[in-house]
A and B are shown apart, each in its own frame.
Chain A
Amino acid sequence: MSETFMIEGYELVCGLEVHVELATATKLFSASANRFGDEPNVHIDPVTLGLPGALPVLNRRAVELAMRIGLALNCTVQPCTFHRKNYFYPDMPKAYQISQYDQPLNIDGWLELPGGKRIGVERAHLEEDTGKSTHIGGSGGRIHGSDHSLIDFNRAGVPLVEIVGRPDITSPDEARQYVTELRQILVAIGASDAKMEEGSMRCDANVSVRKPGDPLGTRCEIKNVNSVRSLGRAIEYEARRQIALIESGEKIRQETRHWDENDGRTHTLRSKEDADDYRYFLEPDLVPLAPEKSWIDEVRASLPMLPRERRQRLSAATGAAADGEAVMVVVERGQDDYVLAVGEAGADVARALVHVKEAYAEQGSEPTVPAADLARLISMETSGALTATQAKTVLAEIVEAGGGDATAIAAAKGFEAMDTSELEAMVDDVIASNADAWAKYCGGEDKAMGALVGAIMKSSKGKADGKAVTALLQAKRGS
């Protein structure tokens, strides 16, 4: 974790810009529905289409969700303004995007990776989404060279928050962790469904490389990264491309590059010289926004426990590592409350963690088995009434049925509990008929125990609990 990630003697420097669509009912500046997947151009109105005379009215809920994001990312919420970012594009109805420029809503926060490293968040600001263009004909789905283009304005004016991370990321894996953790936070606070595949979360990466101790290198911005997996690949590809250029004596040109999922490469989209002059100026159709302290406090108080805290809580309860697989997975799925409830119902909570992780592999699936039912099963297992194998079989059945009495199921399967006296008699029989092995075991040869345990398991037809058998043998040897 603390080791520096290096490629061919170079360090990687990466900052991520993440756009998330907010889960509001309506658009950022109009009353049209904010909904994905409907027939094209049904969620439109004069404001969305940028008709002459139309005026924006800020959506209070969008501001609230943006504040939730800022506060969850440890930002300062501050008085802010809106600017116009001017550029021509067919899916940009007003030919300017209303965004936040030098006075964003949220500034100076951080996101903590599961391992504890903090990645700075420079700002998280509100802006409106564009429409969606589909270019027909030509090559590569680009507007250039296409026969015609179709525009769907359903997405135009959908509220976005752009989260600008500081260049604190030093490996592709950290980039993946950052986005994964951010996604979990966004979902947990109800700000967005944050689905990269559907475009409700979009990630651009600024990548540069340098020799340790050198000043920052020239960066390139990578766009069109559509999954967490691609993000790591794209960053690593881009770092290697830049290193190869430097090593061959060439200079890096500051440019925007397009990640191509199919060939696994980045390609030049536009260079810095071609960049638009956005002619930012204060949006005269809106007034400054200064959320009062009471509102900020209210939003802060309404935030749920965040994933990091929930992992720490589960870790403390179970003894499993906070950044270990079981805790990470179960919290990501949102099953940690359930694990703790099983523990409260009297079961070994560490065992509950393992079972929940294994039995509910589907992400986000809500466990349907009553906590008490699972707790009973785990108690039977830890008391030795069921072997681990038997417990697994019973669990599968309970999960399938959405609950059930473990005792009854075990009995029906003939997994009836072997009581201690029955087991002891069986152990005595095996000792008697394996005097040789017993003598070796008593003489200190621990590996002789294997033969004894095997014989006992065989004569019990697998019903004996391994742990209980071992304990009995040790007790009889007197050590």
Chain B
Amino acid sequence: MSLTETSAFEIAAEVRAGRLRAVDVLDAHLANVAARESEIHAFNTVTADEARRSAEAVDAAVAAGRDPGPLAGVPIALKDNMCTRGVPTTCSSKILDGWKPPYDATVVELVANAGAVVVGKTNLDEFAMGSSTENSAFGPTFNPHDVTRVAGGSSGGSAAAVAARFASISLGSDTGGSIRQPAALCGVVGVKPTYGTVSRRGLVAFASSLDQIGPFSHDVRDSALLLEVISGHDPLDSTSIPQPSLQLLSELDRGVKGLRIGRITDLPGGSEPEVDERLSEAFDALAAAGATIVDVELPSMKFGLTAYYLVAPAEASSNLARYDGVRYGMRVEASDTNAMYMATRAAGFGDEVKRRIMLGTYALSAGYYDAYYGKALKVRRLISDDFARAYEKADVLVTPTSPIVAFPVGSKVDDPLSMYLCDVFTIPTNLAGHPAMSVPFGTGAHGLPVGVQVLAPTLGEAVMFRVAAELERGAR
């Protein structure tokens, strides 16, 4: 087995044991980058030199008898909306042109301290707004399974970097499906943890009450390993849940016997037939492994998309107001301060970002707040209540991750609403703050990957990973 096909779990074990050198693992991955990055465009920045120094430090530590940590020598890619000290952090936006953060995000510190080797910063839809990574100011990321198609988004670069084996694992951020949907489209595992289990400090905010960082990997075990490393309380994030890091690796082999798996009977329609077929096979696999399939209703799920496109843009309109050309990033000079703000923001933001800033500003405006933002908050509560009722009957819920497989580049860019529909199954999870993950489960149209989504209640990661591991076994 080549070094790029070795799992992160095994790489770390071998490197820690001194049987494998981190620099060799890195070189193998960088060779893949050299071979295919020009057709994939997973990265905004490849940090080869820094990566080499990190890998050498890992090898030196092992040679000196020190343990570099649970991710020793594992090449990792970071979505380019996570602050990295001294390394450009662009959010794939022109407005952050030239900005190098003076600090590392908490997750960046955590993976570095665990011995991981950061190979680069990955492409995304500008400020994580999109479902195809076509809204990047630096051009789209292409799907490694078919480079005429999108990688999904917004964490398309992180998904593609793992799928193309440019990195063993990666981190993305998920506000409405931005980890799970590209994971499904690229045929990798992607996890959106419970809101508050992974620190958001240093994650450039899109919608603060929904954003959550999570892992991408080839298999369920590697996501469990990475999530164990990045979860846990961060006193510098006030929304971080005060509890120790998740323990997941020990759950993976427990099976699903006796678990109740919820099938949502009123799931919004419109999925491709192959996607529905894979879902049905997933239920069969879980039933065959001893789980009970139960029917549940989630009537408010269909309102999720609408509520999301009020709550997320509202927060975004506020979060993105700081890009004013005063202190960092791009500035377009003009006659006075107001003119400078306008010229800078007009030139610095792309169309989708501007669209959402306008949506959000309107939703929060005096006279419209109650009708839009206020009502969206009520729907949000309704969705949480529906989930709570469903979880009285079921331990987890299983749905498709995306209603469709990877679509051709350019096919949806002029139709924002059909693009928004890609997230219909993923968005309710973010509104409720729950965990959910996408697991590859066979293929659909054109032989492209299909992902099945496992949803769990707050802090239900342990049971979620048990079911995901079973689905992974069932898919083989």
Q: Which of B327, B341, B364 contacts A279 (CB 8 A)?
A: B364
Is there contact, CB below 8 Å, between A52 and B83? yes
Closest residue on chain B to residue A277 by CB atoms: B366
Given contacts A86-B321, A284-B209, contact A53 B201 (CB under 8 A): yes
Query: In terms of DSSP, what is the predominant structure of the interface of chain A?
Result: loop
B96 contacts chain A at the CB level, 8 A cutoff: yes
- Cα A143 to Cα B209 in complex, Å, equals 35
Count of residues in A whose CB is under 8 Å from the partner chain:
31
B347 contacts chain A at the CB level, 8 A cutoff: no
Is there contact, CB below 8 Å, between B322 and A284? no
Bitwise, A93-110 to B at CB < 8 A (1) or not (0) is 111100000000000000
A88 contacts chain B at the CB level, 8 A cutoff: yes
Is there contact, CB below 8 Å, between B322 and A93? yes
Is there contact, CB below 8 Å, between A51 and B205? no
B239 contacts chain A at the CB level, 8 A cutoff: yes
Is there contact, CB below 8 Å, between B96 and A52? yes
A167 CB contacts on chain B under 8 angstroms: none
List CB contacts (< 8 Å) of B95-137 with chain A: 96, 99, 101-103, 105
- Cα A93 to Cα B323 in complex, Å, equals 9
A402 contacts chain B at the CB level, 8 A cutoff: no
Closest residue on chain B to residue A50 by CB atoms: B322
Q: Which of A55-63, A392-400, A460-468 contacts B (4 or more CB under 8 A)?
A: A55-63
Given contacts A53-B101, A94-B321, contact A284 B315 (CB under 8 A): yes
Is there contact, CB below 8 Å, between B366 and A86? no
Query: In terms of DSSP, what is the predominant structure of the interface of chain B?
Result: loop
B236 CB contacts on chain A under 8 angstroms: 55, 57
Distance from B78 Cβ to chain A, minimum over Cβ atoms (Å): 12
Q: Which of B314, B318, B337 contacts A143 (CB 8 A)?
A: B337
A286 contacts chain B at the CB level, 8 A cutoff: yes
B337 CB contacts on chain A under 8 angstroms: 90, 143, 149
Q: Which of A50, A94, A285 contacts B239 (CB 8 A)?
A: A285
- Cα A149 to Cα B327 in complex, Å, equals 13
List CB contacts (< 8 Å) of A25-84 with chain B: 46, 49-58, 84
- Cα A52 to Cα B316 in complex, Å, equals 12
Q: Which of A51, A94, A281, A287 contacts B238 (CB 8 A)?
A: A287
Distance from B82 Cβ to chain A, minimum over Cβ atoms (Å): 8
B434 contacts chain A at the CB level, 8 A cutoff: no
Q: Which of A46, A94, A96, A284 contacts B103 (CB 8 A)?
A: A46
Distance from B378 Cβ to chain A, minimum over Cβ atoms (Å): 14
Q: Which of B91, B237, B314, B322 contacts A281 (CB 8 A)?
A: B314
- Cα A58 to Cα B238 in complex, Å, equals 8
Is there contact, CB below 8 Å, between A53 and B326? no
Closest residue on chain B to residue A58 by CB atoms: B238
Given contacts A53-B201, A57-B236, contact A46 B102 (CB under 8 A): yes
A90 CB contacts on chain B under 8 angstroms: 324, 326, 337
A-B contact pairs, 29 of them (CB 8 A): A50-B327, A52-B83, A52-B96, A52-B204, A53-B83, A53-B89, A53-B203, A54-B202, A55-B200, A55-B237, A56-B238, A84-B318, A93-B327, A94-B321, A94-B322, A149-B337, A277-B366, A279-B361, A279-B364, A279-B366, A280-B364, A281-B373, A284-B207, A284-B239, A284-B315, A285-B208, A285-B239, A286-B238, A286-B239
Q: Which A residues contact B (CB, under 8 angstroms)?
A: 46, 49-58, 84, 86, 88, 90, 93-96, 143-144, 149, 151, 277, 279-281, 284-287
Q: Which B residues contact A (CB, under 8 angstroms)?
A: 82-83, 89, 91, 96, 99, 101-103, 105, 200-205, 207-209, 235-239, 314-315, 317-318, 321-322, 324, 326-328, 336-338, 341, 361, 364-366, 369, 373
